[in-house]
């Protein structure tokens, strides 16, 4: 009976030793390189890259960035780098906080600025919603290069520019002395002169003489429209055919393209038809009002 119990105890201790080795075999310790801390991980037998990424909450891009010399798929027994700041909360490897970097980031933050300590599994979006700010503002205030946060990380959650201390003003110095008599009178209210309305003297008539040309494109609108070089859009222009004195009002809808300087206006087919012109170009006089 004693031998049976002893055999069970030895088997239990042997199994416990194997389990302990299995849980620590893949973790070979920590390594710091280029101010970054990595976990040295040894790929186990028949262990896929997908399972490693899932275990340490790591993306494929992040893995490749930390392991530029490692070929995919990874091989059994190969040692890879796992960025420490991406470790999941459930892993047994302790997180190393870079206190120097943290102090440098918050050193220039005014004491009045609001601070937030990141909780377990708390993301940038949840912090932004909590304080009713945007994720972009949090990135700017904290010089963040990633949206991933660590538990215990300190974040500035209010605009540091608005939190800067101002010089206190002693209001007692602004009050008049008890023995002084206030002799100054309140300044008379300043009234602004009403804006002068434009009268007939401010309206000018502009007259131009040159060539009126047909806009030779299909037009089913039937409207009297025109293109002019300087007249404001929407201006009504009187066009007069100098060969037969036929006149028509047109509306400017666009700018005259650069080309023949003799052409002063271009008319839509319907408008040009009203001038009773015998050619696609006619000598004309145009006039319109300017304010």
**Which residue from 255, 268, 264 is spatially nearest to 283, judged by alpha carbons?**
264
Task: Answer yes or no: is 216 within a domain.
Answer: yes
What pLDDT, on the 0 to 100 scale, is given for residue 252? 93
Task: Answer yes or no: is 251 within a domain.
Answer: yes
Say which range, 15-29, 114-128, 133-147, 223-237, has the weakest mean pLDDT.
Answer: 15-29
pTM above the 0.75 mark? no
Average pLDDT across the chain, whole number? 75
Higher-pLDDT residue of 66, 286? 286
What pLDDT, on the 0 to 100 scale, is given for residue 19? 43
Output the domain CATH number for residue 268.
2.40.40.10
In terms of domains, do 151 and 230 share one? no
Task: Answer yes or no: is 196 within a domain.
Answer: no
User: Strand, helix or coil at 273?
Assistant: helix
> What dihedral angle (degrees, nearest 10) is formed by the CA atoms of 108, 114, 120, 121?
-80
Contact 118, 153 (CB under 8 A): yes
| pLDDT per residue as tens digits for the range 222-272 | 889 999 998 999 999 999 999 999 999 999 998 988 888 899 999 999 999
Task: Answer yes or no: is 12 within a domain.
Answer: no
Task: Answer yes or no: is 15 within a domain.
Answer: no
Beta strands in 118-244 (DSSP E): 154-156, 204-214, 225-228, 236-241
Domain count, the chain: 3
Domain range enclosing 251: 201-290
In terms of domains, do 92 and 150 share one? no
Decide which of 162, 183, 217 is a domain's last residue. Answer: 162
In terms of domains, do 82 and 127 share one? no
What pLDDT, on the 0 to 100 scale, is given for residue 30? 79
Torsion sign across C-alpha atoms 22, 83, 151, 105: positive
Using the predicted structure, report yes or no on whether residue 178 has a pLDDT greater than 60. no
CB neighbour list of residue 161: distance below 8 Å, 6 or more residues apart: none
Average pLDDT over residues 85-105: 43
Task: Answer yes or no: is 240 within a domain.
Answer: yes
Task: Answer yes or no: is 85 within a domain.
Answer: yes
Higher-pLDDT residue of 95, 35? 35
Task: Answer yes or no: is 55 within a domain.
Answer: yes
**Which residue from 185, 133, 172, 175 is spatially nearest to 155, judged by alpha carbons?**
133
What pLDDT, on the 0 to 100 scale, is given for residue 211? 94
* The total number of residues written for the chain in this structure: 291
Contact 83, 51 (CB under 8 A): no
Say which range, 109-123, 135-149, 276-290, has the weakest mean pLDDT.
Answer: 109-123
In terms of domains, do 285 and 212 share one? yes
In terms of domains, do 105 and 91 share one? no
Decide which of 96, 126, 141 is a domain's last residue. Answer: 96
What pLDDT, on the 0 to 100 scale, is given for residue 163? 55
Output the domain CATH number for residue 153.
3.10.350
E strand or H helix that includes residue 130: helix 124-130
């Amino acid at each position: 009976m004693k031998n049976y119990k002893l055999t069970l105890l030895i088997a239990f201790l042997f199994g416990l030793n194997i389990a302990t080795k299995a849980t620590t075999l893949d973790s070979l310790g920590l390594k710091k390189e280029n101010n970054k801390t990595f976990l040295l991980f040894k790929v186990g037998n028949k262990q896929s890259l997908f399972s490693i990424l899932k275990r340490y909450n790591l993306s494929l891009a992040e893995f490749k960035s930390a392991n530029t010399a490692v070929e995919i798929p990874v091989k059994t027994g190969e040692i890879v780098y796992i960025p420490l700041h991406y470790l999941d909360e459930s892993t047994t490897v302790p997180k190393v906080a870079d206190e120097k970097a943290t102090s440098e980031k918050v050193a220039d933050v005014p004491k009045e600025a609001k601070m937030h300590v990141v909780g377990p599994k708390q993301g940038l979006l949840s912090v932004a919603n909590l304080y009713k700010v945007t994720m972009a503002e949090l990135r700017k205030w904290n010089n963040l290069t990633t949206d991933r946060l660590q538990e215990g990380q300190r974040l500035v959650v209010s605009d540091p520019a608005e939190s800067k201390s101002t010089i206190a003003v002693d209001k007692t110095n602004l009050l008049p002395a008890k023995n002084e008599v206030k002799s100054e009178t309140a300044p008379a209210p300043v009234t602004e002169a009403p804006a002068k309305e434009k009268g007939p003297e401010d309206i000018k008539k502009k007259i131009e003489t040159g060539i009126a040309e047909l806009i030779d494109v299909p037009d089913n609108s039937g409207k009297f429209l025109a293109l002019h070089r300087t007249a404001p859009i929407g201006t009504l222009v009187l066009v007069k055919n100098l060969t037969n004195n036929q006149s028509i009002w047109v509306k400017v809808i666009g700018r005259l393209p650069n080309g023949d300087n003799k052409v002063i206006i271009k008319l839509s087919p319907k408008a040009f038809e009203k001038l009773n012109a015998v050619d696609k170009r006619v000598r004309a006089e145009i006039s319109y009002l300017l304010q």
